[in-house]
Amino acid sequence: MNDAQIWTMIGAFTALMFGMLTVVSTLFVRVVRAEIGGLRHEVLAEIGVLRSEFRGELRAEISGVRGEIGALRSEFRGELRSEIGELRGEIRSEIGELRGEVRAEIAELRGEVRGEIGELGGGIAGLRGEMNARFDTMDSQLKGLDVEVHALVKHTFGYDRD
């Protein structure tokens, strides 16, 4: 092979490496986006299910309380007021507990998502460092090759190519 063919091969391999780097990076970013989107949809769906269950249970409890109040109003008005107070307290405490549980679940999910994002960021940073190291190695090898080609041109043709 002559010099032109060698340089052509080097250029072709360099272009191939950059192309592969671009494809791998693009696919990695797409996978990360798809996973985050899937997680977002799962979290939103879970929150929607909890909200629907909470509304259904709350409506059922309220309907039951209203039915009892209507039946007992004429006979036990004083007693009913104390029962209503107790039920309100229980409902509020249940709502408070449910809110606490939902907030805890949301906080846990946020922590998990942030952890996953942090891990992905660390992986990307590691990959970036590795790719920079490889590019630096390739750059130093190309500089060395340039010096050798310069020496060969000077030796073969007797003049500097600059």
- Quote the tokens at residue 15: 């272009």
Per-residue pLDDT of 114-141, as tens digits, reads 999 998 988 888 899 999 999 999 999 9
- pLDDT the model gives residue 79: 73
Please spell the DSSP secondary structure of 14-69, one letter per residue: HHHHHHHHHHHHHHHHHHHHHHHHHHHHHHHHHHHHHHHHHHHHHHHHHHHHHHHH
- pLDDT the model gives residue 157: 83
- pLDDT the model gives residue 160: 64
Please spell the DSSP secondary structure of 68-119, one letter per residue: HHHHHTTT-HHHHHHHHHHHHHHHHHHHHHHHHHHHHHHHHHHHHHHHHHHH
Q: Could you give the CA distance from residue 47 to residue 53 in angstroms, rounded to a whole number?
A: 10
Are 101 and 53 within 8 A, CB to CB?
Answer: no
Low-confidence ranges of the chain (pLDDT < 50): none
- pLDDT the model gives residue 150: 87
Q: Which residue has the tokens 């007992």?
A: 72
